[in-house]
Amino acid sequence: SAVISQKPSRDICQRGTSLTIQCQVDSQVTMMFWYRQQPGQSLTLIATANQGSEATYESGFVIDKFPISRPNLTFSTLTVSNMSPEDSSIYLCSVAEDRYTEAFFGQGTRLTVV
Amino acid sequence: DAKTTQPPSMDCAEGRAANLPCNHSTISGNEYVYWYRQIHSQGPQYIIHGLKNNETNEMASLIITEDRKSSTLILPHATLRDTAVYYCIREGGATNKLIFGTGTLLAVQP
């Protein structure tokens, strides 16, 4: 099974600033995803991180607000830009080694915007 | 659109089997059924998945009806540590993109 390390685990940020979240996997994986979990809610998929190319965003999420990088098969970053209190959520990285296999999740980054 | 329907909450006595239902009446032939759970303040954890046949692993059993319109996750001997939100998810695009619904909060009672 893949082991995922997400950094930071939590942060408190001022509105208008940006935060970059890192996701490091201990093995090469084909698929990487970023999710958001707002307080008391289920998980919402933000985007698929594609190696060496632009991420594929889900409806309601845009690159200017959530730029994503994936330089290789073990690492990805998600930036939450120009933050507002509505961005306060847990952000989770997920990976899958191949299609039709289980997905693994990081422990998440708990972001509070004040 | 999560495309699955689950009861919002269930209770189960410790040591008894927990049977969690899921309705996916519009499932297509190439879509798998996945189950994940999320224990408070942790990332979701994979439990099991299946296409047509019933499946069993060390954590649970998955029973899929013959018409594939519904399924049941069975935790054979629930413990307090099984208290979590359980998500039933359809995925058929070979992308591993998981669209989470609201899930079922299973409370295991001592």
Model pLDDT for residues A26-62, shown as the tens digit of each residue: 999 989 999 999 999 999 999 999 998 899 999 999 9
Q: What is the pLDDT of residue B92?
A: 67
Test B98 with A94 for CB contact under 8 angstroms. Answer: yes
Beta carbons of B42 and A107 less than 8 Å apart: yes
Nearest-neighbour CA in chain B from A11: distance (Å): 15
Best mutation target among A4, A31, A35, A42 (most B Cβ atoms within 10 Å) is: A42
Ramachandran assignment for A52, one of left (phi > 0), alpha (psi -120 to 50 degrees), beta (any other): left
**A59 in contact with B, Cβ within 8 Å:** no
Q: Check the CA dihedral A114-B38-B98-B104 and report its sign.
A: negative
* Mean pLDDT estimate for chain A: 94
Average pLDDT over residues A4-20: 97
- For B97, the closest of A33, A102, A105 (CB atoms) is A33
Could A42 and B87 be called an inter-chain contact, meaning their C-beta atoms sit closer than 8 Å?
Answer: yes
What average pLDDT does chain B have?
A: 92
DSSP secondary structure letter of residue B110: -
Average pLDDT, integer, range B13-33? 92
Judged by CB atoms closer than 8 Å, whether chains meet at B44 and A45 is answered as: no
Q: Which of A42, A100, A108 sits opposite B94 (nearest CB)?
A: A100
Q: How confident is the model at residue B1 (pLDDT cuts 50, 70, 90)?
A: low
What pLDDT shows up at residue B98?
Answer: 85
- For residue B77, give the 3-state DSSP assignment: coil
Write out the two tokens for A108.
């998440």
Is the CB of residue B103 less than 8 Å from the CB of residue B89?
Answer: no
Given a cut of 80, is residue A98 above it in pLDDT? Answer: no
Query: Which residues of A are less than 8 Å from B42 in CB distance?
Result: 107-108
**Number of C-alpha atoms within 13 angstroms, CB side, residue B23?**
5
Nearest-angstrom CA–CA distance, A103 and A2: 9
Cα-only R_g, chain B: 13
- Is the pLDDT at B2 greater than 90? The verdict is no
Which tokens hold the place of A85? Answer: 């209190």
> How far, in whole angstroms, is CA A43 from its chain's centroid?
12
Distance between CA atoms of B41 and A4, rounded to whole angstroms?
A: 16
Are A42 and B103 in contact by the 8 Å Cβ rule? The answer is: yes
How many of the other CB atoms lie within 10 Å of CB of B4? Answer: 24
Q: Is the peptide bond before B7 cis (omega within 30 degrees of 0)?
A: no
> What is the pLDDT confidence band of residue B29, given thresholds at 50, 70 and 90?
confident
Section A77-94 average pLDDT: 97
The whole-angstrom distance between A33's CA and the closest CA on chain B is: 8
Q: How far apart are alpha carbons A52 and B47 in whole angstroms?
A: 31
Q: Which among A86, A60, A105, A18 is positioned nearest to B96, based on CA atoms? A: A105
**What percent of chain B stands above pLDDT 70?**
95
pLDDT at B48: 95
Chain B positions touching chain A (beta carbons under 8 Å) = 32, 34, 36, 38, 42-46, 49, 85, 87, 94-103
Could you report the per-residue pLDDT of B56-107, keeping only the tens digit for each? 999 999 999 999 999 999 999 999 999 999 999 988 666 778 888 889 999 9
